[in-house]
Amino acid sequence: MRFFSDNAAAAHPKVIEAIAASNRIDTAYDGDEWSRRLDGAFSDLFETEVRALWVTTGTAANCLSLAALCPPYGGIICHKDAHIEVDEAGAPGFFTGGAKLILVDGPGAKLTPEAVSAACDRIRDDVHQVQPAALSITNATEYGLVYRASEVAALGELARQRGLAFHLDGARLANALASTGDSPADATWRAGVDTLSFGFVKNGGLNAEALILFRTELADEIAVRRKRAGHLASKGRMLAAQILALLEGDLWLDNARAANAAAQALAHAAPGRLLYPVDANEIFLKASADEAARLRSLGIDFYDWGEGEIRLVTSWDQRSEEVDRVAAALSGL
Amino acid sequence: MRFFSDNAAAAHPKVIEAIAASNRIDTAYDGDEWSRRLDGAFSDLFETEVRALWVTTGTAANCLSLAALCPPYGGIICHKDAHIEVDEAGAPGFFTGGAKLILVDGPGAKLTPEAVSAACDRIRDDVHQVQPAALSITNATEYGLVYRASEVAALGELARQRGLAFHLDGARLANALASTGDSPADATWRAGVDTLSFGFVKNGGLNAEALILFRTELADEIAVRRKRAGHLASKGRMLAAQILALLEGDLWLDNARAANAAAQALAHAAPGRLLYPVDANEIFLKASADEAARLRSLGIDFYDWGEGEIRLVTSWDQRSEEVDRVAAALSGL
Amino acid sequence: MRFFSDNAAAAHPKVIEAIAASNRIDTAYDGDEWSRRLDGAFSDLFETEVRALWVTTGTAANCLSLAALCPPYGGIICHKDAHIEVDEAGAPGFFTGGAKLILVDGPGAKLTPEAVSAACDRIRDDVHQVQPAALSITNATEYGLVYRASEVAALGELARQRGLAFHLDGARLANALASTGDSPADATWRAGVDTLSFGFVKNGGLNAEALILFRTELADEIAVRRKRAGHLASKGRMLAAQILALLEGDLWLDNARAANAAAQALAHAAPGRLLYPVDANEIFLKASADEAARLRSLGIDFYDWGEGEIRLVTSWDQRSEEVDRVAAALSGL
Amino acid sequence: MRFFSDNAAAAHPKVIEAIAASNRIDTAYDGDEWSRRLDGAFSDLFETEVRALWVTTGTAANCLSLAALCPPYGGIICHKDAHIEVDEAGAPGFFTGGAKLILVDGPGAKLTPEAVSAACDRIRDDVHQVQPAALSITNATEYGLVYRASEVAALGELARQRGLAFHLDGARLANALASTGDSPADATWRAGVDTLSFGFVKNGGLNAEALILFRTELADEIAVRRKRAGHLASKGRMLAAQILALLEGDLWLDNARAANAAAQALAHAAPGRLLYPVDANEIFLKASADEAARLRSLGIDFYDWGEGEIRLVTSWDQRSEEVDRVAAALSGL
Amino acid symbol at D143? Y
Rounded Cα gap, residues C112 and C30, in angstroms: 38
Please report, for residues C92, C127, C137, the alpha-carbon distance to residue C71 in angstroms, rounded to integers and kept in the order given.
11, 14, 18
Amino acid symbol at D333? L
- For residue A98, list chain D residues with Cβ-Cβ distance below 8 A: 90, 93-94, 96-98
Cβ atoms of D57 and D201 within 8 Å: the answer is yes
- The DSSP-derived string for C25-41 is ---SBT-SHHHHHHHHH
- Alpha carbons within 13 A on the beta-carbon side of C87: 15
Return the closest-CA partner of residue A299 out of A273, A276, A328, A271.
A328
Rounded Cα gap, residues A135 and A121, in angstroms: 14
Amino acid symbol at A306? G
Rounded Cα gap, residues C222 and B111, in angstroms: 41
Q: What is the pLDDT of residue A4?
A: 85
D226/chain A closest Cα distance in angstroms: 18
Rounded Cα gap, residues D323 and B241, in angstroms: 76
D161/chain C closest Cα distance in angstroms: 32
- Give the long-range contacts of residues C150-157, CB within 8 A, separation 24 or more: C150/C191, C152/C187, C152/C188, C152/C191, C152/C192, C152/C193, C153/C190, C153/C191, C153/C192, C154/C113, C155/C111, C155/C113, C155/C116, C155/C191, C155/C192, C156/C191, C156/C192, C156/C193, C157/C113, C157/C192
Amino acid symbol at C8? A
Q: Is B51 on the interface with D (CB under 8 A)?
A: no
- Fill in the DSSP letter of residue B209: E
**Per-position pLDDT tens, chain B of length 333:** 889 889 889 999 999 999 999 999 889 999 999 999 999 999 999 999 999 999 999 999 999 999 999 999 999 999 999 999 999 999 999 999 999 999 999 999 999 999 999 999 999 999 999 999 999 999 999 999 999 999 999 999 999 999 999 999 999 999 999 999 999 999 999 999 999 999 999 999 999 999 999 999 999 999 999 999 999 999 999 999 999 999 999 999 999 999 999 999 999 999 999 999 999 999 999 999 999 999 999 999 999 998 999 999 999 999 999 999 999 999 998
Return the closest-CA partner of residue D136 out of D171, D107, D174, D165.
D165
Q: Is D268 on the interface with C (CB under 8 A)?
A: no
Which residue blocks in A146-236 are alpha helix, DSSP H? 149-162, 173-180, 219-228
Q: pLDDT digit string (tens) for D157-177?
A: 999 999 999 999 999 999 999
Rounded Cα gap, residues B23 and B25, in angstroms: 7
SS3 of residue C71 by DSSP: coil
The answer to whether the CB atoms of D99 and A87 lie below 8 A apart is no
**Per-position pLDDT tens, chain A of length 333:** 889 889 889 999 999 999 999 999 889 999 999 999 999 999 999 999 999 999 999 999 999 999 999 999 999 999 999 999 999 999 999 999 999 999 999 999 999 999 999 999 999 999 999 999 999 999 999 999 999 999 999 999 999 999 999 999 999 999 999 999 999 999 999 999 999 999 999 999 999 999 999 999 999 999 999 999 999 999 999 999 999 999 999 999 999 999 999 999 999 999 999 999 999 999 999 999 999 999 999 999 999 998 899 999 999 999 999 999 999 999 998
Neighbouring residues of B158: CB distance < 8 A, sequence distance ≥ 6: B113, B116, B117, B135, B164
Rounded Cα gap, residues D275 and D294, in angstroms: 20
Best of A83, A103, A130 to disrupt the D interface (most D CBs within 10 Å) is A130
Option in B128, B131, B223 nearest D127 (CB): B223
The answer to whether the CB atoms of B28 and A8 lie below 8 A apart is yes
Q: What is the ipTM of this complex?
A: 0.97
Rounded Cα gap, residues C253 and C182, in angstroms: 12
The answer to whether the CB atoms of A25 and B10 lie below 8 A apart is yes
Return the closest-CA partner of residue D48 out of D191, D242, D204.
D191
Inform me whether the pLDDT recorded for C304 exceeds 90: yes
Greatest Cα pair distance, chain A, in angstroms, is 60
Neighbouring residues of A130: CB distance < 8 A, sequence distance ≥ 6: A73, A74, A75, A99, A100, A102, A123, D89, D90
Inform me whether the pLDDT recorded for D5 exceeds 90: no
Arithmetic mean of pLDDT, C126-142: 98
- Fill in the DSSP letter of residue C134: E
- For residue B75, list chain C residues with Cβ-Cβ distance below 8 A: 90
Q: pLDDT digit string (tens) for D24-49?
A: 988 999 999 999 999 999 999 999 99
Rounded Cα gap, residues C14 and B238, in angstroms: 72
Neighbouring residues of C102: CB distance < 8 A, sequence distance ≥ 6: C75, C76, C77, C78, C119, C123, C130, C132
Q: What is the pLDDT of residue A36?
A: 97
D156/chain C closest Cα distance in angstroms: 27
Rounded Cα gap, residues B207 and B288, in angstroms: 35
Return the closest-CA partner of residue C64 out of C209, C246, C255.
C209
Q: pLDDT digit string (tens) for A248-304?
A: 999 999 999 999 999 999 999 999 999 999 999 999 999 999 999 999 999 999 999
Inform me whether the pLDDT recorded for C153 exceeds 90: yes
Count the neighbouring beta carbons within 10 Å of the beta carbon of residue B153: 17
Q: What is the pLDDT of residue B2?
A: 87
Cβ atoms of A105 and A193 within 8 Å: the answer is no
Inform me whether the pLDDT recorded for C1 exceeds 90: no
Helix axes C320-331, C289-297, angle to 10 degrees: 140
First-residue to last-residue Cα distance in chain D: 17
D35/chain B closest Cα distance in angstroms: 16
Q: What is the pLDDT of residue D1?
A: 82
Rounded Cα gap, residues D11 and C235, in angstroms: 9
Inform me whether the pLDDT recorded for C2 exceeds 90: no
Q: Which chains touch B (3 or more CB pairs under 8 A)?
A: A, C, D
Option in A90, A94, A98 nearest D90 (CB): A98
Mean pLDDT score of chain C, rounded to an integer? 97
- For residue C225, list chain A residues with Cβ-Cβ distance below 8 A: 73
B67/chain A closest Cα distance in angstroms: 12
Rounded Cα gap, residues D203 and B235, in angstroms: 57
Pairing of β A131-138 and β A165-170:
parallel
Arithmetic mean of pLDDT, C316-325: 94
- Fill in the DSSP letter of residue D87: S
